[in-house]
């Protein structure tokens, strides 16, 4: 249990996942190289050469079109957001262990009172440095490692963010220092660890109290939770724990273990809860504070037992596993469903180019770099279109799942998912299901216990074609219609019970969409007394209401970093015009204002979506005097947090309270949240509120912090898993007077059919691919992914790093 | 110009389209039969037999899978919403001409003072009758024709809705009667015709005034609008016209004609406007009321001329046609864009079944009938899922485009598009662009001038696969993921400058989406003084702000017709719980209410989407005591009308003012709008407000009138055409405790990959198609649509109907 530092369903399921993925590593034959697809990094060719290459290299008609496409490119500059290479991680770990003042213990040997390394990854560059490098002649930002230490060899255990560098490690110049500047807390990135004693919490506390009521649990559910192999019950509780009046209070609940082979534990609550004061590191000083069953509170175990075995105690049934909780195919086969359904194919292979070494991508006139971190998984950087940067950064910041209920378990649950991290749970994608079989798959890596792991094929890139065109018009003389081919970069992260699919889509009109879809198992509630917090969805089960809110950082740079945000509202108006014969006309008009400062920059989508939010460059007007800009708008249902001033969260997720929040970009405010905000909710490492200190937002470098989200009141249709048809949320960015005409006109994948005198006179195809005249043959049959080759993780390197034997035998680390 | 009855950009472009499509007919060789695809109506086989057929009829491995699928079925009962057959239309026309009291003239011979037949189509059945037929033993509802007469042989011309029947026509039993019961106006479906004199309006009025300022128009724009062949200017004006104090007032504007071959006139306003009092039928009594240029009003032509040729007159430039207004490919070819893009293919042919004769469709466990009318195009009826009706009717009612501007042209424009009709402009779809090439295409027909026309391939049906799955979950032991294959029925209608793509999508979890996407040419404004109403988007052009609002009727029948609407809101709350140690906790809870009556049934989506709207059957609780129901929610950006109590619309589009409006279903309130509401805006044939008279909505047959819509403030990206990436709006229906688990579990197109001990141990595919063991071969290469065969209209039948020579030579009617 040492890998993750919490006890909660997220932690339990997540730990199991991670352990399993490690176990998976142990025995799987490690591949000698990451499985890069569609050309390795050796083939370097600029994207603008590709078209010539295609045309110049066409051979016999037997050539497949896919073969004629070179899908690699070279990034203009090495990726400054690149993950550390395995040997770099290993060298940092080795260096850290050499620093005696850190008093570090190797994870596998560490107990609750030892200091360990929690994280080693690349430190993100400051934007100031990155821009000087990307746009100017500056050298690459000096490379540092961002390290988190889990310092538990103390009465007051704490996590500490530190910087190690410069890299490469050099015993003369490399040093470490506390990392404080990106955090708002007075102690910087130093925050208490409330989970330091999680192992003894189970052995010395939760199972002890599980055993203390074994007579009751046997009577109620024929099961026990005592830490024994034959336990059929589990215990876990709220996250974050209560942090009040200097005390640390937890509520824990009993759950049935699944009996089948599905991950259904979060569907099996049993309705018994107990409260504990677990302040301090000495379990002997912890206090049981009471029991709760059927909305009746019992201050002591004796009181509870007396009542339970008394004559008036009302017992309810148990939620037990079954087919209803398993996601296998069920029911009669639908008509014709065993015929092959429609499928998207890529008959010409990839029409985009990837620098696999630098995680740099070019599609049509877009380009971007990919970064990847433990906390938030994949991020996109330096997103350019038609040669100009649109966004310096577009990245997930945090995901909140805030529950409510009549019971303390649901009421007390407000997961802040970066605590668990999106990176480590971005598993291998299922080809042909999570992404098309023909997609390009990239790897990502993450740090666990002195080792660097790689999830192969955990990021996908692909083109797709919507079922509708992007443009059309029919007249008496012609019909013009254009295909809507778009490009997607995606990763999926399963944080415990929930699977988040993150998609960034790029369209040929210059618009960009950010979407999140959720699936997996809901966390549900015991039904009793929860009528005002959810639907009853199974025998003794309530679909616990919760809000998902996911914050994204959109660091726009519209034609430079001097930007402003214009609000343009459609407002009903009644007005007399020179031509209206003195009568007032009921009509509408536009009202425009600018957001002047951070005093007015936290707000929601307007009712009836009446207000457009446009990021403009006030110095960059187009030829007609309008500001060139990009508009931000909701795409598919976004919400902010329903709860006001949440008792669970206090100051740890202030970013969740509005739809749109805008700040001046600062190197000291790179992230909206810290993964350990849950450890000190009143004074978290990053209190987003503190970003708002009245600074001007006119003609400044701006960051938009945008919330996607969904209210979720699970109903029976969320059993066994939530479906993505409805559990989706998205925002969209679209050009606003940014170009002089629609950019989709540039594609050749349009047609114009002309007719006159009753006949079609010509079909204009603008040079688009024509199979009859082409010297290559499209290959329509899809790649058949071999799902038996699904592997999960590969490649673990460990300190001490031996360049002659880089692939560590993982067996000994778990 | 006799086919459509208005003068407006919609009418002009639309007339040109229709004339062209007629002209197209004239010379195109009419096909002897509508081109039905994928099996004709002769092959009748029940859908539930299809699976057996597939399995039973598998032959050699060389058989293509597509061949093994029979894609026809037989509707359970003949379609009671079927369009009239051509011979039925002809027989009704013939019968009408035999009624001497109607005093009818054939359209081609008719002048402004003749009565003509405006429309002949099938009368929709009353729901009462249709349900008795569909669900009981009643015979089919008696068939009537719905006829609209354009009675112009009078000082007070009017349109009259009448019923003719019963059909088939029989000179003894067939009669006609005024159709009044579905309309709220005292005179029923009888409403004045404000366009009776549209021909003389041009010849005797607009061109006369165009000529009266020819010296000015020549000086300003080197052009004239005098009705001559070499005119380079056009004149048209507001819609609806002003209807105040018993007077009919119009504003008209000057526009440049396009000089190229694109449909760009609505991008070429010139900024000169004149007002006319055109009350009554005698042009000699009409009055010029003034001119407007650059926001200065001139009461007479002389005053305007004096000012114009004075020294202080400020002249602005003209909007002239050019490449910027054409939709052809422009700019350098994008990298790799001339390689074939990804494409969706249907390797097993159709996995749905169609009764082509009855326009009845079955896909998976869904079924529905298709209807088609002049006013609103395609409608879906009797939508069933898993054997139960979900919706009796799902249909477009009206589409409003409400503009605003500083000038009277834009300020006065509020198109109500059923005036033009969606049916006649539902042209042939472009295969491979509007819908996949493999889609099934159906025909639709419409009435014009004693003739029945058929647009071939104007409705499409197809399956598609989203780029993301519908369900997924990864655990330490397995990954489960399910394809999201869905079904779409679509039509596209080009009402003048705008192309509306209407899509109804059905998903395997039981959810349904209704989406509208807009493309085509915006109607723009002359730039001068319009800063508060749009962006300047070209030399002298403003992108005139406007709201699109489209009303849909969703007549839900959830487990019968006794339904209620439950509102369930997520509300922030502060509450003390038995376990919260006396402290109030800031959290959230659900509040549930029912909509009791029509007094409280007009409302908007709630801020932060906090309120769920659920149609339930209060008598149908599930096993857990929850109401089985369907939820209605926004999907992709919906809006209602910004303008309050519009001066243009008065009472003609009261449906546009809220997002959701609910009424008790009545046979007397079948439609939210009448196509001639614009002819008497204060007292239109259907005033939607009058539907709301306080009736109970608990346990009643309910109709939801739902508005889709988009605010549109066109920017340069709307040139030349609006793109559908951003111009989209949608609503969604999803099960709410309707089933006991997620219905997507039923599909075999899911996979579960199990792993243990570091190896993938099995890949469960649940009987899904497996190419290696199948006896048929999937055909991945797409059908190559021959776009040179694009035809538009076919088949025109005319009175007198000659069964031996059914296909009328269209040459003489245009």
| Sequential DSSP letters for B392-421 | EEEEEEEEEEEE--SSHHHHT-EEEGGGT-
pLDDT at A388: 97
- Would you kindly state where each structural domain of chain B is located, as residue ranges? 9-74+351-746, 86-179, 198-256+269-317
pLDDT on residue B70: 64
Q: Which of B438, B441, B498, B627 is catalytic?
A: B498
- Give yes or no for a contact between B121 and B83, defined as CB atoms under 8 angstroms apart: yes
Complex ipTM value: 0.92
A52 Cβ under 8 Å from any chain B Cβ? no
Window 569-588 of A: residues touching B by CB (8 A cutoff) are: 570-572, 577-580, 583, 585-588
Is residue B62 very low, low, confident or very high in pLDDT (cuts 50, 70, 90)? low
Q: How far is B703 from chain A (nearest CA, A)?
A: 22
Q: What is the mean pLDDT of residues B447-459?
A: 90
Distance from CA of A398 to the nearest CA of B (A): 19
Any alpha helices (H) in A154-300, and if so which ranges? 198-200, 207-212, 214-221
Arithmetic mean of pLDDT over chain B: 89
CATH class of B9-74+351-746: mainly beta
Asked whether residue B757 carries a pLDDT value surpassing 80, the answer given is: no
What residue in B sits closest to A544 (Cα-Cα)? B589
Scanning A389-418 for CB atoms below 8 A from B yields 402, 404, 406-408, 411
Residues of B in contact with A647 (CB under 8 A): 583, 585-587
Write down the pLDDT at residue B60: 42
B473 and A327 within 8 Å at the Cβ level: the answer is yes
**Which residues from A are below 8 Å from B23, CB to CB?**
476, 757-758
| Secondary structure in 3-state letters for A733-772 | EEEECCCCCCHHHHCCCEEEEEEECCEEEEEECCCCCCCC
Apex CA B711: angle with CA B549 and CA B540, to 5°? 120
pLDDT at B1: 28
Chain B CB contacts of A68 under 8 Å are 339
The topology (CATH level 3) of B198-256+269-317 is Nuclear Transport Factor 2; Chain: A, (3.10.450)
By the CB < 8 Å criterion, does B51 face chain A? yes
> What residues in A contact B344, CB-CB < 8 Å?
342-345, 465, 467
Per-residue pLDDT reduced to its tens digit, B718-748: 999 999 988 999 999 999 999 999 999 999 9
CB-based contact B626 A65, cutoff 8 Å? no
Give mean pLDDT, residues B690-699: 98
Please list the rounded mean pLDDT of every run of 10 residues in chain A (814 residues). Answer: 38 43 31 25 29 37 74 93 94 96 94 96 97 95 97 97 96 94 94 94 96 98 96 97 94 96 96 98 97 98 98 96 96 94 94 96 97 98 97 98 98 96 93 96 92 91 98 93 98 94 98 98 97 98 98 98 98 98 97 98 97 98 97 94 98 98 98 98 98 98 98 97 94 97 97 84 93 85 81 50 40 32
pLDDT of A650 reads: 98
For B558-568, give one letter per residue: b (16+ CB within 10 A) or e: bbebbbbbbbb
CATH 3.10.450.40 fits B86-179, yes or no: yes
Chain B residue whose CA is closest to A290:
B579
What sign does the CA torsion over A196, A202, A205, A206 have?
Answer: positive
Known catalytic residue at B498: yes
Query: Residues 710-749, chain B: which have Cβ within 8 Å of A?
Result: 711, 713, 715-726, 732, 734-749
Angular region, B722: left φ>0, alpha ψ -120 to 50, beta rest: beta
Residue A651 touches chain B, beta carbons under 8 Å: no
- Our CA dihedral for B614, B617, B620, B626, rounded to 10 degrees, sits at 20
B175 contact A CB<8A: no
Measured between beta carbons, the chain A residues lying within 8 angstroms of B748 are 329, 333-334, 337-338
Q: Is the dihedral of CA B23, B25, B27, B28 positive or negative?
A: positive
The tens digit of pLDDT for each residue in B594-638 reads 999 999 999 999 999 999 999 999 999 999 999 999 999 999 889
- Select the residue of A336, A343, A711 nearest B465 (Cβ to Cβ): A343
Query: Which residues from chain A sit within 8 angstroms of residue B261, using beta carbons?
Result: 477-478, 754
Q: How many C-alpha atoms does A532 have within 13 Å on its Cβ side?
A: 13
Residue B590 and residue B600 in contact, taking contact as beta carbons nearer than 8 Å: no
The partner residue sitting opposite B790, judged by closest CB among A408, A758, A760, is A760
- List Cβ neighbours of A321 (8 Å cut-off, separation of 6 or more): A256, A257, A258, A259, A260, A262, A264, A267, A268
Sign of CA dihedral A294, A296, A300, A304: negative
pLDDT, average across residues B26-39 = 26
Q: What pLDDT is recorded for position A792?
A: 59
pLDDT score at B793 = 55
Per-residue DSSP letter, B266:
G
A387 touches chain B (CB under 8 A): no
Nearest Cβ partner for B337 among A364, A610, A758:
A364
Q: What angle do CA A483, A487, A490 make, to 5 degrees?
A: 145
Inter-chain CB proximity B475 and A759 less than 8 Å = no
The CA distance from A729 to B682, in Å, is 41
* Nearest-by-Cβ selection for A351 from B336, B647, B735: B336
CB A150 within 8 A of CB A193: yes
Indicate if the pLDDT at residue B424 is higher than 60.
Answer: yes
B469 interface with A at CB cutoff 8 Å: yes
Q: Is B757 on the interface with A (CB under 8 A)?
A: yes
**Is B499 a known active-site residue?**
no
CATH of A86-157, picked from 1.20.210.10, 3.10.450.40, 3.50.50.60, 3.40.50.300, is: 3.10.450.40
Distance CA B749, CA B763 (A): 13
Equal fold, B9-74+351-746 vs B86-179 = no
Q: Which residue in B has a C-alpha nearest to residue A22's C-alpha? A: B758
Note the pTM of the prediction, 2 decimals.
0.92
Write down the residue that tokens 């008036």 correspond to: A312
Q: pLDDT above 70 covers what percent of chain B?
A: 89
CB contact under 8 A, A579 and B467: no
- How many Å separate Cα B635 from the centre of its chain? 18
CA distance readout (Å), B466 to A206, A221, A464, B469, B479: 45, 43, 9, 7, 19
Cα distance between residue B59 and residue B418, in whole Å? 51
Candidates B197, B252, B382, B417; catalytic one: B417
The region of weakest confidence among A70-74, A717-721, B305-309, B707-711 is: A70-74
CB contact under 8 A, A343 and B345: yes
| Residue among A470, A521, A741 whose CB faces B724 most closely | A470
Angstroms from B646 CA to nearest CA on chain A? 5
From chain B, the residues in CB contact with A583 under 8 A are 647
Strands B247-256 and B233-237: antiparallel
Kindly give, in sequence order, each residue whose CB lies less than 8 Å from that of residue B377, ignoring residues fewer than 6 positions away.
B396, B422, B423, B426, B444, B491, B493, B502
Euclidean distance between CA atoms B102 and B110, whole angstroms: 14
Name residue B138's beta-bridge partners. Answer: none
């Amino acid at each position: 249990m040492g890998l993750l530092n919490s006890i909660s369903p997220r932690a339990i399921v997540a730990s199991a996942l991670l352990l399993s993925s490690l176990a998976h590593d142990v025995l799987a034959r490690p591949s000698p190289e990451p499985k890069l697809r569609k050309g390795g990094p050796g083939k370097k060719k600029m994207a603008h050469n590709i078209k010539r290459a295609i045309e110049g290299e066409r051979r016999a008609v037997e050539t497949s079109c896919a073969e004629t496409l070179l899908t690699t490119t070279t990034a203009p500059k090495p990726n400054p957001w690149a993950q550390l290479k395995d040997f770099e991680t290993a060298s940092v770990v080795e260096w850290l262990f050499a620093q005696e003042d850190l008093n570090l213990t190797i994870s596998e040997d560490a107990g609750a009172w030892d200091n360990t390394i929690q994280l080693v990854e690349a430190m993100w560059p400051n934007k100031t440095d990155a821009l000087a490098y990307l746009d100017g002649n500056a050298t690459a930002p000096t490379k540092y490692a961002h390290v988190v230490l889990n310092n538990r060899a103390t009465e007051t255990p704490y996590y500490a963010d530190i910087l190690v560098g410069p890299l490469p490690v050099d015993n003369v110049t490399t040093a470490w220092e506390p990392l404080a500047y990106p955090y708002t807390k007075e102690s910087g990135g130093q925050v208490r660890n409330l989970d330091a004693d999680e192992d003894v919490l189970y052995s010395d506390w939760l199972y002890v109290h599980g055993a203390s009521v074994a007579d009751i649990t046997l009577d109620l559910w024929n099961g026990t939770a005592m830490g024994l192999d034959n336990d059929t019950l589990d215990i876990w509780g709220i996250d974050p724990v209560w942090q009040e009046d200097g005390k640390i209070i937890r509520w824990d609940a009993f759950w049935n273990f699944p009996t089948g082979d599905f991950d259904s534990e979060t569907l099996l609550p049993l309705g018994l809860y107990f409260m504990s004061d677990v302040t301090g590191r000495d379990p002997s000083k912890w206090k049981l504070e009471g029991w709760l069953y059927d909305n009746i509170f019992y201050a002591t175990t004796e009181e509870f037992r007396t009542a339970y075995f008394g004559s008036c105690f009302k017992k309810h049934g148990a939620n037990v596993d079954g087919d209803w909780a398993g996601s296998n195919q069920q029911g009669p086969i639908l008509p014709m469903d065993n015929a092959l359904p429609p499928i998207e194919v890529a008959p010409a292979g990839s029409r985009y180019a990837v620098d696999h070494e630098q995680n740099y991508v070019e599609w049509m006139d877009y380009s971007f770099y990919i970064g990847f971190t433990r906390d938030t998984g994949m991020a996109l950087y330096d997103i350019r279109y038609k040669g100009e940067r649109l966004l310096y950064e577009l990245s997930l910041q945090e995901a909140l799942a805030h529950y409510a209920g009549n019971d303390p378990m649901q009421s007390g649950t407000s997961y802040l998912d970066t605590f668990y991290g999106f990176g480590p749970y971005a598993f291998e994608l299922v080809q042909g299901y999570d992404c098309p079989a023909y997609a390009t798959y990239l790897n990502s890596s993450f740090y666990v216990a002195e080792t660097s792991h790689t999830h192969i094929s955990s990021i996908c890139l692909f083109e797709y074609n919507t079922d509708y065109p992007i443009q059309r018009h029919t007249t008496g003389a012609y019909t013009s219609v254009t295909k809507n081919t778009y490009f997607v970069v995606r990763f999926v992260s399963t944080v415990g019970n929930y699977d988040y699919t993150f998609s960034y889509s790029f369209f040929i009109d210059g618009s960009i969409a950010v979407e999140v879809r959720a699936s997996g198992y809901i966390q549900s509630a015991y039904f009793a007394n929860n009528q005002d917090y959810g639907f009853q969805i199974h025998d003794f089960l309530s679909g616990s209401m919760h809000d998902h809110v996911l914050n994204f950082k959109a660091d726009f740079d519209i034609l430079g970093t001097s930007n402003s945000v214009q609000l343009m509202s459609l407002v009903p108006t009644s007005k007399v015009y020179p031509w209206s014969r003195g009568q007032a006309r009921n009509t509408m008009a536009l009202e425009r204002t600018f957001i002047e400062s951070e005093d007015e920059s936290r707000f929601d989508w307007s009712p009836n979506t009446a207000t457009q939010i446009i990021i403009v460059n006030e110095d960059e007007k187009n030829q007609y005097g309008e500001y060139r800009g990009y508009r931000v708008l909701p795409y598919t249902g976004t919400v902010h947090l329903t709860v006001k001033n949440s008792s669970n969260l206090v100051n740890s997720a202030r970013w969740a309270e509005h739809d749109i929040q805008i700040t001046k970009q600062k190197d000291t405010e790179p992230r909206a949240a810290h993964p350990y905000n849950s450890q000190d909710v009143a004074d978290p490492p990053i209190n987003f509120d503190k970003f708002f200190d009245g600074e001007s937002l006119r003609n400044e470098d701006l960051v938009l912090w945008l919330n996607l989200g969904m209210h979720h009141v699970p109903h029976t249709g969320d059993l066994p898993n939530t479906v993505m048809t409805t559990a989706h949320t998205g925002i969209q960015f679209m050009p606003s007077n940014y170009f002089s005409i629609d950019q989709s006109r540039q594609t050749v994948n349009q047609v114009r059919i002309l007719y006159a005198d009753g006949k079609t006179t010509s079909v204009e195809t603008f040079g688009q691919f024509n199979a009859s005249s082409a010297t290559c043959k499209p290959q329509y049959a899809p790649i058949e992914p071999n799902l038996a080759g699904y592997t999960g993780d590969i490649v673990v390197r460990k300190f001490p790093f031996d360049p002659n034997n880089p692939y560590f035998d993982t067996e000994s680390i778990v």
